[in-house]
A and B are shown apart, each in its own frame.
Chain A
Amino acid sequence: MTKERMSWILLLAAAGIFLISSFLAERKIVFTNPAIWVEDPNGQVYVADPGR
C-alpha cells in the first residue's frame, strides 16, 4: 500500500471521528459542555458559554 493511499485512509478516518463526535455533541451525548464556538458580525470567532 502506498503512502498516498494510507494517508487518504487516515484522512477519511479522521473525518469519520469528527462527524461522529459532532453528532454526539449535537445530541448532548457524552459531550455535555454547553459552551460553543460562535462568530460575531465582525467575523470574530469566540467561545460563548450559556452555562455560566
Chain B
Amino acid sequence: MTLLTSLLLLLPWVLLVRALFPQWTLRQSLVVGCAGGLAATITLGHLLASFGRLELLFYFLPAVLLVAAVIVLRRSRALGRALEELLGPKASTAASVWFTVVLATIAGMELIPALTNTLPLGWDPSFHAILAEKIRLSGALSVDWTPFEEIPLNYPQGTHLLMALAARLSSLPVHTVFLQLLVLVQVLAAALLALVAERVFEDWRAGVGTLISYGFLVRWGGFGSYFQWGGLPTALGALLLLGLVWLTLTERNRLGVALGAVFLGSTLLTHHLSALIAGWIGALYLLLETIEWVAAKKGTRWGADGQSSYWVKVGLLTLVAYSYFLIPYFLKIQQLSETAALEYSEEPLIRLQQLPMMLGWVLAPLSLAGLVLSRRFKSEHKVFLLIWTTALFFGFCLLDDVYRFLANLLQQRDFTAFTPSRFLTLMSYPLAIYAGYALARLQTVFPETWAIRLPFGQRLSARGVVLVVLVGASTAHWGSSLEHLSSQAVLPKELVEVASMLKEQTPPNAFLLFNQSLQQENVYWMAYLTWRRSPETPIPASESQKPAKEYERLFTPPVDPQAIDQWLAHNNLVGLLLARNPQGNYFINPLSPPEGGP
C-alpha cells in the first residue's frame, strides 16, 4: 500500500522530468524521475513543514501534474517517444528486457521481508519511527525530542517527512511505512546504479551486471544490510547522491544543475553524513582537477571535462537555495561537542581480513577484478567513477585508521569520528559498478556467434546463457539470507499489546522502567509504542548525550532509590516498573525500586 502511495506522490515529478528532459529514454525518465521526485518531495515538504503546514504539499502535487501535462502536450515529440519506447520495437531490446526481469526479481525478493515483518529490525528504526510519528501528528518539523527528552534535535528529518507523508496518505503506521519505503528506495538505487554503469562503460551488459551485483551480492550498502540495522536515511541519502552522480555524467545544462542542486540539497535534509561524503567526493574531484590544470601546459581550460564546473555550479546553487537550512544548522555547530560525533567509540577498527565480510564475499573480488579491468577503458566518466571510489576508501582510511591511531596515541582511548563504516557502506555502490563491469566482461569471453538453437527457430546465445546462470546463482545466493530477514519477531506480541495498553491508560508524565526480566527484549521500541519516557529512549550519536549520562548515573547498580525518587519528583514524573514473571505474564507497578536496581 505504501509503495502505491509513494508512486502517487512521485507520479507528477516523473511526468515533469519526462517533460523537461525529453531526450532521455523512458527507462531513464522513470528511474531518475522517481528519485528526483523523492528529492523534490523532501525539499518541498521540508519547507512547508518548517512552517507547520506539511499538508499543503498535497495541493502542490496536482499543480506539478498540471504543469508537467502542459509541457508534455506542448512537446508532443516527448509523448510520442515515450509511447514508442513503451509499445514499439525498442520496448523489447535485450537491454530493456534484462533490466526489467532482473529489477523485478530484486523487487520481489526485497518485498518478502518487508511484508512479513511487523516491526523493522535493528535499533535505528525505533528512533526513526519516533521522529516520523512526531511529524505525522503535528504536520511540522520537530525542533527537539519532547515528549521524551528536552534536548534539541540535530538529526535531519527528510526521511521522516517522507514516512509521515506516506503514512498520512496510506493510513498505515509509520513503522510499516519504514519497511516498504526501504524497498522502494533500494529498488530505485539498483536501477539508478545500473543506469550510471551503462553510462560509464557505454554497455548495457555492465548495467545488467551492476543490477545483479548490487541487488544480490552487496553486503554493507545493500538491501539485506540496511534491512538488518534499519538504515533507511543512509539508503535514501545514497540514492539522492546517485541522482547527482547520474546528472554529472549525463545532463550538465542549466536544468541539470537545478535538478542536481535539488538532489544535493535533499541529501543535506536527509542524511548529514551522506551530504558530507558528497561534499568530500566533490572536493577531492575539484582538487585533482585543479592540480591537473596547474600541471598541464598553458592554454588548457580549468574544468574542460565539464564535470568539475558542474559540481561547482551545483554546490553554489545548493548553498544559496538551502541557506535557510544551512545557516541555522551551522550556527548550532558548537553543540557538536555534546554529541558523540567526534568521539565515536561504538565501532572497532575494521581489519584487512574483515573487508570482504563487510563488502560481500563475492562482490569484493569481483569488484577488484572490475577495477583492474577498467584501467584500459578510456573515458572521463570512468575517471569520475575512480575518484568516487577513491574518495570513499581514502575517507574511510583517514577516519578509521589515521584519526583512530592519533586518538589511541594521544588520548590512550579508542575512538573515531563520525561513522567510518558508512564510507564503506557508500563505497559498495561504485564497487557494484566495477563488479557489474567484470560480469559484463565475463560474458564477452564467449563469442557472439556461439548460440544454442531452441524450438520454433529461436536462438539462445552463450552470452545469454551466462546471464541466466549469473542471475540464477546470485538469486540463490541472496535468497539464502531471506530466511533470516523475514517473519522476525522484534518484540513478543504480548509486549506490544502491553505497550498499547500503557499508551492508552497511563498518564502522559509516566516514566517507564524495565525489570531485569525484560533484559533480553528490544525495549528501546517501547518509547515509540507507548509514547512515554524511559531510560531506554533511543537517542542516536548525533544528539546530545546528556540524558544518557544522567540515566547511567541514576540507574547503574547499585542504585540509590532515594535519588531516583527525588529525580522523578523534580521532573514531575510518575515512575512505573514493568516486569514479566516466569510464566510470561506482564506486571506494571508504581515504582518502588527493588534492591539491586530495576
For residue B307, which residue of chain A has the nearest CB?
A3
Please give me the residue from chain A that is nearest to B406 by CB atom.
A30
> Which residues of chain A have C-beta atoms less than 8 A from B350's C-beta?
37
Q: Is B389 part of the binding interface, using a Cβ–Cβ cutoff of 8 Å? A: yes
On whether A18 and B402 interact (CB within 8 A), knowing A6-B291, A31-B414, the answer reads no
Query: In the assembly, what is the distance between CA of A20 and CA of B295, in Å?
Result: 31
Report B399-430 CB contacts with A as 1/0, cut-off 8 Å.
01110110011000010000000000000000
Q: Are A45 and B358 in contact (CB under 8 A)?
A: yes
- Cβ of B149 < 8 Å from any Cβ of A? no
Evaluate contact between B481 and A22: CB separation under 8 angstroms.
Answer: no
A43 touches B224 (CB 8 A): yes
A20 to B220 alpha-carbon distance, docked (Å): 23
User: CB-nearest residue of chain A relative to B347?
Assistant: A47
Chain A residues positioned under 8 Å from B402 (CB to CB)? 17
- CB neighbours of A11 from chain B (8 A): 386, 389-390, 393-394
Which A-chain residue is minimally distant from B382 (CB atoms)? A4
On chain A, the residues within 8 Å of B289 by CB distance are 3
User: How many pairs of A and B residues are in contact by the CB < 8 Å rule?
Assistant: 104
Please tell me if the beta carbons of B357 and A3 are within 8 angstroms of each other in the complex: no
Picked from A1, A36, A45, the residue with its CB within 8 Å of the CB of B220 is: A45
Q: Given A1-B295, A37-B358 in contact, is the A19-B481 Cβ separation under 8 Å?
A: no
Q: A1-B291, A18-B352 are in contact. Are A43 and B405 (CB under 8 A)?
A: no
Give the B-binding residues of A (Cβ under 8 A).
Answer: 1-4, 6-8, 10-11, 13-15, 17-22, 24-26, 30-33, 35-37, 39, 42-45, 47, 49
Taking a contact as CB atoms under 8 Å apart, the answer to whether B386 and A18 are in contact is no
Q: Complex formed: what's the CA distance from A42 to B225 in Å?
A: 12
Q: Is the CB of B219 within 8 A of A45?
A: yes
A43 and B408 contacting across the interface, CB-CB below 8 Å: no
B383 touches A (CB below 8 Å): yes
Which residues of chain A are near B202, meaning CB under 8 Å?
A: none
Are B405 and A2 interface neighbours, CB within 8 A? no
Known contacts A3-B288, A42-B484: does B394 contact A13 (CB below 8 Å)?
Answer: yes
Q: B150 in the interface, Cβ–Cβ < 8 Å?
A: no
In the bound complex, residues from chain A placing their C-beta under 8 Å from that of B386 are 4, 7-8, 11
